[in-house]
Amino acid sequence: MHHYLDALAVVRATAPDQPAILNRPHAAARAARFFVQKFPGKTLYAVKANPSPDLIKVLWDTGVTHYDVASIGETRLVRGLLPHATLCFMHPVKSVAAIVEAYRDHGVRTFSLDTIEELDKIRAATTAANDGVEPTDLTLCVRLRVSSEYSELSLASKFGCELADARDLLQATRQLADCLGICFHVGSQAMTPFAFVTALEKVRAAIVDASVTVDIIDVGGGFPSIYPGMEPPPLEDFFALIDRTYESLPVSYSAELWCEPGRALSAEYNSIVVRVERRRDNELYINDGAYGALFDAAHVGWRFPVRLLRDNASTAETVPFSFYGPTCDDMDHMAGPFDLPADIGAGDYIEIGMLGAYGAAMKTAFNGFEANVICEVTDEPMASQYCGTRRDPRVSDNVVSLR
């Protein structure tokens, strides 16, 4: 892999004909250190956000020892890379074959569920994988459905046990589990710590109603990164409020607090360099798009930071543009707006930042277009929750008081 100072250095040296993905391992390592040192519990990396083997190794080397895997493919990947990592199969709906292989071949002992049917499946599959003996080493996390009203992307529809049904499921799961957990997901890109407070209050109600001993509270993901138009509070505010609320829950004296960041650990890891192939008014035709790293920009209207890459900086005013990707599909369109100098045109290069979460993971080779140029750069990402430029969280006005 070639190493450069920044995106402009990549353009100067290579004038890439294809989109170039830029890796920033130092940014991912900094994010991992932040969570490992400051989150008041255990950090599990949500592999689905970016399954890059290089990234996974960076996180391991920086102290992340637990990984949230959501498929047998992710389980095989991480186990092959990290023989000593703790893998947690946190998808609530799994095939029997996946559970058997995860338990028998990859040492997975932690599974999530949100129905009695899934509990029965886990019991049968792990018993089969344990030579017909019901296992006594399972950590089972019941996923509770909580609101996504404070997040940019909802995760409230597909998974999660309703509070009204939680009592029976928690009591039944307690009978099989050596360790019983409750998990939830407040949605992607939570913009206030209060999202976690409301979810934890629902957890409190579920525990009280079921009268069970709970050993793990897993607050899931949703920890935000910085994007245009999205300036979340410092993560320290989230951690402080989660800790305060968790400490008041009726859980086991030895209970653990977990979290599953994906975006927060990977967003700053990648950016991409694209080339403008054509300009039509305020529409730019670029060589990556909805079927590449810009899936979110096309399909959920996500705005990513952008900058023009030129040796001589443009002095033109900044105006809003939309993007078309390289495929023949009209849906290959990113509305933006993406603010760039008014004199941009064909042949110019643009860096699009904060693509480490989901962007790099969801790219395809549809229509014969794909980004297969990968470089490493040492400059800072376009925005960061971790580089010391955020204001002191002790003077943040975004903390929600519980009093």
Cis amide leading into 337 (omega within 30): yes
Rg (alpha carbons) of the chain, rounded to whole number: 22
The tens digit of pLDDT for each residue in 355-367 reads 999 987 888 888 8
The tens digit of pLDDT for each residue in 33-58 reads 999 999 999 999 999 999 999 999 99
CB atoms within 10 A of CB 53: 12
**pLDDT tier, 395 (very low <50, low <70, confident <90, very high otherwise):** low
CB 68 within 8 A of CB 83: no
Contacts of residue 112, defined as CB under 8 A and 6 or more positions apart, other chains included, come to 88, 89, 90, 91, 92, 140, 141, 142, 143, 183
* Chain centre to alpha carbon of residue 76: 19
If you average pLDDT over residues 10-14, what whole number do you get? Answer: 95
The residues spanned by each domain of the chain are 2-22+268-377, 26-266
If you average pLDDT over residues 211-237, what whole number do you get? Answer: 95
First to last CA, the chain: 53
In three-state secondary structure terms, 235 is: helix
User: Residue 243: CA atoms inside 13 Å, Cβ hemisphere, count?
Assistant: 12
Contacts of residue 395, defined as CB under 8 A and 6 or more positions apart, other chains included, come to none
May I ask the CATH architecture of the domain 2-22+268-377? Answer: Beta Barrel (2.40)
CB atoms within 10 A of CB 372: 10
pLDDT at 396 over 60: no
Give the least confident one: 142-146, 240-244, 366-370. Answer: 366-370
150: tokens are 């404070």
Determine phi and psi for 302, rounding to 5 degrees. Answer: -70, 135
26-266 carries CATH number 3.30.365.10: no
Contacts of residue 94, defined as CB under 8 A and 6 or more positions apart, other chains included, come to 102, 111, 118, 121, 122
Strand 373-377 to 2-4 pairing? parallel
CB atoms within 10 A of CB 205: 13
